[in-house]
Amino acid sequence: MWIMTKAGFFSAVEDRENHEYVLVRARQLKDLVNLTNYLDGAHDIIAKEDSDYRFRIRVTKTQWADAVAQFSNDIDYSNFKAKIWEIDRKRADVYGDIWAILYKLQLEDDN
């Protein structure tokens, strides 16, 4: 699962070693630091220099679901891209690029 929020961009995948957990991965450390504000208890952020996603945190599926629910409850905008522009213009540019790429899927449906 990929999710873009005001708190950051996250990639969540099932932990191969324990299916009750997910690894939430991020490109930037600050995103996972922000995520910890949505989690109960302390969580160690792991940095792996040679990984596709440099930073990761291991949480239960329930903890992840609760955090995603909180992200949903924090929606306070009618335009996500504009809100991100207010918060972080560099990130807004990247999110905009992703939006444009994904827009191609809609265009394919029109043909």
Structure pTM? 0.89
- Is-contact 63 23, C-beta < 8 A? no
Tokens of 84: 């991100």
Find the mean pLDDT for residues 14-40: 96
* Residue pLDDT, tens place only, 48-97: 999 999 999 999 999 999 999 999 999 999 999 999 999 999 999 999 99
Taking alpha carbons only, the member of 78, 79, 81 closest to residue 89 is: 81
* Residue pLDDT, tens place only, 29-52: 999 999 999 998 888 999 999 999
